[in-house]
Amino acid sequence: MRADARRNYDRIVEVAREVFREQGYDASLDEVAKRDGVGPGTLYRHFPTRENLLDAIMQSWVDRVTETADKALAFEGSDRDLLLNWFEQYVALISQHKGGPAKLTSAMGDPSSPIRTKCQVLSESNGRVLDELRAHGSLRESVDAIQVSRLVGGVATIADNSDLDVAQVRPMLEVIADGLLT
């Protein structure tokens, strides 16, 4: 990619991140182009679909998911506290943009989703935390990462749609954690 094309690409991603943070993932792509000062053709040349733009926006997020899981695994405390700490971090990760929890949770486990690879990173990080608990013997046998991702994502979606704060979300996460642990 030429240097000027790369600058356009990067600038569109940053502007789209701002617009999506303010208005949600369904914000107008024309608004992104307008705010960036480029024509719609330039935006669509770099990102033929909304999903391509979302994928580019989410790349730095993917790196944060892995770092957050690493930190959660280093948490010292009870298995329940480790799980709740991870769940709160998980909710924060998928709630960075309005509409994000629903978008990510509905794409979880869908092989045809254009953001499938991003969801896999999230699910794999979730699986790492669950595997740690499984190794301690404190996780129910039948629990799998996708199920837990959907449950916690459902809580995050409710919080996102209802503008709930962390204190209102925690009791719902506690119910999930208590149901998963032996």
Please say whether the beta carbons of 90 and 152 come within 8 A.
Answer: yes
Q: Show pLDDT as tens, one digit a residue, over the chain (182 residues).
A: 789 888 989 999 999 999 998 898 889 999 999 999 999 999 999 999 988 898 888 787 888 899 999 999 999 999 999 999 999 999 999 998 788 899 899 998 888 887 788 889 999 999 999 999 999 999 999 999 999 999 999 999 999 999 999 999 999 999 999 999 99
Give Cα separations from 31 to 17, 40, 105, 108, 131 (angstroms). Answer: 12, 9, 26, 28, 43
Please say whether the beta carbons of 117 and 107 come within 8 A.
Answer: no
Please say whether the beta carbons of 23 and 47 come within 8 A.
Answer: no
Determine the pLDDT at residue 74: 95
- Show the DSSP H helices in the chain as ranges: 3-23, 29-36, 40-46, 50-73, 79-94, 100-107, 116-136, 145-162, 166-180
Count other C-beta atoms under 10 Å from residue 182's C-beta. 11
Q: For residues 113, 126, 130 and 142, what is the CA-based torsion angle, rounded to 10 degrees? A: -20
Determine the pLDDT at residue 71: 94
Determine the pLDDT at residue 59: 80
Determine the pLDDT at residue 182: 94
Determine the pLDDT at residue 61: 82
Give Cα separations from 7 to 45, 103, 133 (angstroms). Answer: 14, 28, 44
Determine the pLDDT at residue 6: 86
Determine the pLDDT at residue 60: 75
